[in-house]
Amino acid sequence: MSLRIVFMGTPEFSVPTLRSLVDAGHTVAAVYTQPPRPGGRRGLDLQKSPVHQAAELLGIPVFTPVNFKEQAERDHFIALQADVAVVVAYGLLLPEAILNGTRYGCYNGHASLLPRWRGAAPIQRAIMAGDEKTGMMVMKMDKGLDTGPVALTSEVEIGPNMTGGELHDRLMHAGAKAMAAAMVKLEMGDLPLTPQATDGVLYAAKLDKGETRIDFSKNAPDVHNHIRGLAPFPGAWFEVEIGGKPERVKVLGSELAEGSGPAGELISNDLVVACASGAVRLTKLQKAGGKPLAAADFLRGTPLAAGTRLA
């Protein structure tokens, strides 16, 4: 036996789950993903999403509606006669006609331990808040924002120096395994649903460019968590004078360090910067238009000595 599935997802994060469902022998009747967007070197070419590209390689029909406001789009979805829809980082709000448009409803793979970090940026927000663990949750979707009952949980530890990118990849693969396991249970009629707790709710707001600048007037753990949560994208940054003019530098890696001094001042020649309390060592940096470099390699091309101010 196998389920007839409609898969809905867009970024690279969603691709392993799609592949896991195909590998498990389910029939993926269709894939829904975001429409192609301008991209390429000059931003002039329309680029298909990673899920779109993966679906084409797998020979699965792909649909890219802008939304589901048109009745024709809703009718088309329902006409697929799917047992279940699997949703992973699709990027569109689903109306009730879609949520109820399959035999078993829609199941979402969400990258947090709900009800903590509902919303758009749960991976980055968990690290920025200093959480020591997170996970992937399979939940049955309802009309609320990540409010549906939970079917299955896969916890993932967050290491002290783990970046947003590293956690993304861990959760991406954990999510694929969790969803495959959930679909086995659903097919067997043995997938229990547990309502989310009403306390401990936090919302993971979409990342804003205005919050990416590093504030060294905060305590070292907060600065460190901010840096690693935003690495590698969009990237936390500071400005420093290089060659007589201010230049923006992204920080893609850091670690807590010993030392103290005026907040924002380098207190060593190996990129240890003082914070309001404590210090952080910058371990991976990238100048505008340049490549990401380990600290030692960065310093060979851009010497920044103790006493330099970072802002």
Give me the residue spans of the domains in the chain: 4-203, 209-301
* Binding residue numbers for (6S)-5,6,7,8-tetrahydrofolate: 112-115
pLDDT band at 76 (very low <50, low <70, confident <90, very high): very high
Give pLDDT tens digits for 247-272. Answer: 999 999 999 999 999 999 999 999 99
Q: What is the mean pLDDT of residues 176-197?
A: 97
Q: Tokens 């006609």, residue?
A: 97
Rounded to two decimals, what is the model's pTM? 0.95
Q: Please report the pLDDT score of residue 142 as a whole number.
A: 96
Question: Quick check: 43 pLDDT over 70?
Answer: no
- What letter would DSSP give residue 295? H
Q: How far apart are CA 207 and CA 164, in angstroms?
A: 12
Q: Tokens 């993971």, residue?
A: 204
CATH 3.10.25.10 correct for 209-301: yes
Average per-residue pLDDT in the chain?
96
Q: Which CATH class is domain 4-203?
A: alpha beta
pLDDT band at 39 (very low <50, low <70, confident <90, very high): confident
Alpha carbon of 63 to those of 48, 67, 98, 142, 153: distances in Å?
11, 11, 14, 22, 29
**In this structure, are residues 251 and 237 in contact, taking their beta carbons and an 8 Å threshold?**
yes
State the amino acid at position 11 in one-letter form.
Answer: P
Question: Quick check: 206 pLDDT over 90?
Answer: yes
* Binding residue numbers: 112-115
Question: Do the domains at 4-203 and 209-301 have one common CATH topology?
Answer: no
